[in-house]
């Protein structure tokens, strides 16, 4: 039998809700990658992120701005122009994202097989 779990194993001062994105949040990591080479406009981000709705992209960018991962710069032009750019904190996510991508390349086929087998068992 395993040892009981420590009820204090998670630091109460660092709740999971404080994380900039959850495991499985599919948009934040993708936005970070889109901004890797410099500032981008909203419409530019929508090109590779074509499956995201404008509303969800806006929510994602606002959350990232709130968390200090991106800056939003509005230019006083006609028509108005807004650009999003990674902060140093946002750039610090690259090793984490690359680790997740490496894990996915190695384990995604097994994960998809498990999902398929689970779904087939429910029929």
Residue 110 in tokens:
């097994």
- In percent, the amount of the chain with pLDDT more than 90 equals 58
- Write out pLDDT tens, residues 39-68: 999 999 999 998 999 999 999 999 999 999
Segment 12-38 mean pLDDT: 75
pLDDT band at 9 (very low <50, low <70, confident <90, very high): low
**81-86: strand order across its sheet:** 40-41, 81-86, 70-75
Whole-angstrom CA distances from 113 to 6, 37, 106, 110, 119 are 33, 35, 13, 5, 10
Residue 58 in tokens:
């806006």
**Residue 114 pLDDT exceeds 80:** yes
- Write out pLDDT tens, residues 87-97: 999 999 999 88
Domains of the chain: 16-92 (1.10.10.10)
**Residue 27 pLDDT exceeds 60:** yes
- pTM reported for the whole predicted model: 0.78
């Amino acid at each position: 039998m395993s040892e009981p779990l420590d009820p204090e194993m998670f630091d109460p001062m660092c709740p999971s809700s404080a994380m900039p994105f959850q495991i499985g949040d599919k948009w934040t990591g993708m936005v970070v990658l889109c901004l890797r080479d410099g500032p981008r406009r909203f419409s530019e981000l929508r090109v590779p992120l074509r499956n995201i709705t404008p509303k969800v992209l806006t929510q994602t960018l606002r959350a990232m701005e709130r968390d200090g991962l991106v800056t939003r710069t509005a230019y006083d032009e006609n028509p108005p122009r807004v650009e999003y750019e990674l902060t140093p904190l946002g750039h610090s996510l690259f090793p984490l994202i690359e680790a997740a991508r490496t894990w996915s390349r190695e384990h995604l086929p097994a994960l998809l097989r498990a999902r398929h087998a689970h779904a087939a068992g429910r029929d």
